[in-house]
Structure 1
Amino acid sequence: MSVAEAVLYIVATPIGHLDDISQRAIQVLRDVAWVAAEDTRHSGKLLSHLGISARFLSLHDHNEKQRAASLVEKIKAGDNVALISDAGTPLISDPGYSLVRLCRDAGVRVVPIPGPCALIAALCCAGLPTDKFHFIGFLPAKSGQRQQVLKDIPAGVGTVICYEAARRIIDTLQDVMAVYGADRELVLAKELTKTFEHFEHGTATSIIEWLEADPQRCQGEMVLMIAPPAEKAADDIAPAVQQTLRLLMAELPLKKAAALTAEIHGEKKNALYKLGLSWSGQDE
């Protein structure tokens, strides 16, 4: 292989069930000169299971900036390198950003080997809106900082997704309730693709009760998903807001009238648009 063809592969690995690794990922891991891993001991077990003998280099939060430069030099010298994390897709709440950025700046080709990702696996099975979502990684460890992060999330971003450590999940659910209220719809996904995989749907209160009913439920990897706020029904929209919408609809297209009414009264544009549709007898 010529120097020009050497690349960095971003290789997704299983988040639980070992059979979820792709044939392409196995071939890449078998063929590369180096495997950069978050935890070489942990990843060594995976590769041993696959019957692969690899040359490992560690790349984690504490050494990434220093290690990235040497990896780029190896690639430029003709060695293919695969980057893997402990589980799932590298860079998604895992190390790798500095390395990929340095590769891009150095003109080194970066090739994705797609596969498992906990946030996508959780979202597609949660029964929450998937047309828009906002991933915030791991929340801060302290309650005040967690609540501030949640408060700072803009409106209209869709389903909010975060990862959380089992030891903090109840505290985090309490903070979610403090910021978004007791009625916000939530889904907690835990132990995805593993033996005790489970999706718990409800509110912060009901999920806390479910967790506290059995201490073993507060174990394992967790993904917390927060539904967007429910849109108001027409009966819940104040008469003054409805009057503004009617007046604007007389002069403007519905979409513009709904947007202006939402801005004036601080309401949700989609709810007003649907209300206007119902008045005009149109189908949504």
Structure 2
Amino acid sequence: MTEPSHSRRYLLNGINRDAPRPEPGLYLVATPIGHLSDMSLRGLDLIAGADVLACEDTRVTGKLLQRFGIKRRMTAYHEHSGEDVARMLVEDIAAGGSLALVSDAGTPLVSDPGYALVRTAIEAGVPVIAVPGASAILTALAVSGLPSDAFFFAGFLPAKEKARADRLQALVRVPGTLIFYEAPHRIAESLVAMGEPFGERPAAVCRELTKMHETVYRGTVHELSKRFGEMDQVKGEIVVCIGPPGEDAPPAEEDVETILIGLLAEMKPTKAAQEAARMTGLNRRDLYSRALDLKGRLP
């Protein structure tokens, strides 16, 4: 399993360091999200010393290896790698080898394909060890200025409008700061969609974290939506943080139905939806559809 071209050495501050060969196991090694100096010493030991280095994109990880003078072969493990690849890698570990898994940036398994490999390793009784380091989620939360005692990572939103709206609505009552990843070409559109359920909540759009052009925009969701809507072009990697619901959070589903039933006893669905929207802050068109459905079921 040991690679012929594997030197087990790396360069740190101009000095060559020998990396020890780790104990058998699957090591989840965090890598920098931007600034390469954020790479940990333990992580470098694992990347240089493990028998196999598995990564999403060999070109991206290759830049990290070059920065620290690490000369070794890489094994591609990405979203298109099948179960056979995961099983083969785990079998090598079970035979006494060590494998370092890295993502393109940050901590493995967060919005990347490492989950299947970890599940296969656990089922095979292979040790799984985390080597912590950079995380865009925690970095964004730290600089956002939003409550950090409770938070929910929601990943990337669906691209289609209806699925995205449904996903956002499902998160309205989560009692913590919401964190999303978003692509630069979709950020303006996503902020508009976020404005429907979260408009007046405080938020932060964090761009290019730890990099030269790091920027954090703060304001309400509506304010940020307007600001990004006026930008010609947005570049870089983006994390969006939205503050938790306050005392004026939208009511629970059962409460919304109760409100609509009460209003329908006195007014038509159109007027009931309009009044319910004013009372709850929810989308009037959605409330109208629900009012029509309830009207048909009421005695």
What TM-score range do you get, normalising by the shorter chain?
0.7 to 0.9
**Cα deviation 1:17-47 (Å, max 9, x = unaligned):** 0000001101111101111100011111111
One-letter amino acid matched to 1:146? R
Q: Which residue of 2 aligns with 1:27?
A: 45
TM-score (norm 2): 0.73
What's 1:178 paired with? 196
Partner in structure 2 of residue 59 of structure 1: 77
Contact 1:16 1:191 in 2 (8 A): yes
State the secondary structure of the residue aligned to 2:245: coil
Aligned mate of 2:240, from 224, 228, 235:
224
CA distance in 2, matches of 1:66, 1:227: 42
Q: What is the CA distance between 1:64 and its match in structure 2?
A: 4.5
Question: Could you tell me the TM-score, scaled by structure 1's length?
Answer: 0.77
Q: Which runs of 5+ in 1 are unaligned?
A: 233-265, 267-284
Partner of 2:218: 201
Matched residues in 2 for 1:148 and 1:54: separation?
A: 46
- Could you say what secondary structure the match of 2:226 adopts? helix
Q: Is the 8 A contact 1:20 1:116 kept in 2?
A: yes
**Partner AA of 2:210 in structure 1:** T
Aligned counterparts, 1:115-126, within 5 A: 115-126=133-144
Please list the CA deviations of residues 231-260 of structure 1 after superposition, one character each: whole Å capped at 9, or x if unmatched: 35xxxxxxxxxxxxxxxxxxxxxxxxxxxx
In the TM superposition, residue 56 of structure 1 has moved relative to its aligned partner by 1.0
Structure 2 Cα separation of the partners of residues 178 and 215 of structure 1: 23
Are residues 1:139 and 2:168 paired?
no
Structure that is richer in helix per residue: 1
Counterpart CA distance in 2 for 1:66 and 1:16 is 32
Task: Report Cα offsets for 1:97-130 as digits up to 9, x if no partner.
Answer: 0100110110100111100000000001111111
SS at match of 2:211: coil
Identity %: 44
Please report how far the alpha carbon of residue 186 of structure 1 lies from its aligned counterpart in structure 2 after TM superposition.
1.3
The alignment partner of 2:167 has SS state of: helix
Q: Could you tell me which amino acid in structure 2 is paired with residue 14 of structure 1?
A: P
Which residue identity lines up with residue 228 of structure 2 in the other structure? L
Q: Is the 8 A contact 2:187 2:228 kept in 1?
A: no
Deviation at 1:228, TM superposition (A): 1.1
**Residues 11 and 82 in structure 1, CA contact (< 8 A), matched pair in contact too:** yes
- 2:207 corresponds, among 173, 190, 199, to 190
Asked if 2 retains the 8 angstrom alpha-carbon contact of 1:189 and 1:224, the reply is yes
Partner of 1:258: none
**What CA RMSD, in Å, does the superposition of the two structures yield over aligned residues?**
1.9
1:43-122 aligned within 5 A: 43-122=61-140
Q: Which runs of 5+ in 2 are unaligned?
A: 3-21, 249-279, 281-299
1:93 & 1:74 partners in 2: Cα distance? 25
